[in-house]
Amino acid sequence: MAKKTYLLDTSVYLTDATALYAYGTNDILIPLKVLEEIDKHKKRQNGVGTNARKIIRMFDGLRSKGNLNKGVRIRKGKGVAYAKTFEPEDLPIGFSKEDPDNHIIGVAITELKKNPNKKIIVVSRDINMRVKCDAIGIPSEDYIARQVVRESSEIFAGLVSHLVDDQVVDRFYDGTGDVILEKDDGEFFPNQFVMLVSNASEKKTALCRFVSYGIPLKSVQLYKGGIWGVAPRNKEQSFALDLLLDPHVQVVSLIGKAGTGKTLMAVAAGLHQTMDETKNCLYKKMVISRPVQPMGRDIGFLPGSLEEKMAPWLAPIQDNLQFLMGNDKVTLDMYMERGIIELEALTYIRGRSIANAYIIIDEAQNLSNHEMKTILTRVGEGTKIILTGDVEQIDNVYVDETTNGLTHVVERFKDQPVAGHITLLKGERSKVATIAAKVL
């Protein structure tokens, strides 16, 4: 196979600093403009800043081994990385010389003029950059090495239907015998919900949770009476509560469109397990946070204290808390002052070790894989973490439906007994919200 040269755009390095190693023995072309743009992001206190600092150190390591202008072997078994600039006169008519993207594309054009036999491919997360390249005949592609699934429809849903004999459904419901699944029955994951469907009538079903092969299926706790005034309105919400209230499931991920109840369920379950005076509470406090949007901007640009800075971003969480507490803001403030409820900025979660807490990270689809790892590694003993989000509504330009941190957790943790996931499908906020989520 002929050797290729890949020109990686700034967006690729800021998404994944290890992208330099993702192209085998092929060479990597580094435009000087990319180095300048990466430098602008190095002070950011998030995953983008981490990647910027990491790739700068990697480039410095290459420089120490040779001359980047002439080319340096990335590592044994890999290609050569070299840094180049472009000739302004090489830009096509209509391409502004002030546009940083055009500077990067210009490097590919100049290199091709000097070496017509080279096959240069521009790799970018920026759709418009790829369109520009295509318009002038330069091959381009997206960076997909970090995708855990090919498309969002393949994300693990947490629920599967399984066809069984009619008497198996009866046996499960009346408790006259255990229902056990073996490997011959198909692929199942710990804490995956299974809907047993009778082969005599598809309307005859039983809802259960898979534990492991050779172990009886568990009944789903339906909580029809609700908790903190919130009762499940569909089977997916029942599954969510079953996971949220199971202390053995320490990592719970809930994906769903706006209005499906993912955040409300998570908060209600948290209040129930941290503040219910009728029982010994499982957790000492509830910590709630969400990414500050646009992703990557620190909250320092807002005036006031940490709580005042976080208020605009945590307003949806506050709405849910006040709804569940009967709109009693005095009570909510009291619990916050006592430290039972914490509204935390993700910016400051690094370095903490949070034990015996119930943690909710809302809008988790806007986190990168690195940021998600940072959060999960803060989890101490006796802590449960809930991740909620809608992978179809992503505001972080450096991730998408298949590369964001929430999708990574769903896919990477699905075979772990300490984790559980369910995708909520039906909107329950209001008729208007349901229609809007579906048709807009």
pLDDT tens for each residue of 348-388: 666 677 889 999 999 999 998 888 988 898 888 899 999 99
Q: What is the pLDDT of residue 294?
A: 44
Backbone angles phi, psi at 88, to 5 degrees: -55, -35
CA distance 221 to 214: 21
Helix (H) or strand (E) holding 109: helix 100-114
For the chain, list the domains and their CATH numbers. 5-141 (3.40.50.1010), 227-439 (3.40.50.300)
Backbone angles phi, psi at 425, to 5 degrees: -110, -35
- Cβ(192)–Cβ(159) below 8 Å: yes
Binned at pLDDT 50, 70 and 90, residue 308 comes out as low
DSSP-derived pairing of the beta strands 193-198 and 205-209: antiparallel
Identify the CA nearest to 382 among candidates 205, 250, 228. Answer: 250
Q: Kindly state the tokens that stand for 76.
A: 């044994």
CA 139 to chain centre: 30
- Cβ(383)–Cβ(358) below 8 Å: yes
CA distance 67 to 71: 6
Q: What is the pLDDT of residue 277?
A: 62
Binned at pLDDT 50, 70 and 90, residue 249 comes out as very high
- Across the chain, what does the average pLDDT equal? 87
Concatenate the DSSP letters of all residues of 182-235 into one string: -GGG----TT-EEEEEESS-TT-EEEEE---TTSBPEEP---TT-BTTB---SH
CA distance 196 to 206: 5
- pTM for this prediction: 0.79
Burial class (CB in 10 A: 0-12, 13-18, 19+), 195: middle
Binned at pLDDT 50, 70 and 90, residue 302 comes out as low
pLDDT digits (tens, 9 = 90+) for 116-172: 999 999 999 899 999 999 999 999 998 876 678 878 889 999 999 999 999 999 989
User: If DSSP codes are grouped into helix, strand and coil, which group holds residue 388?
Assistant: strand
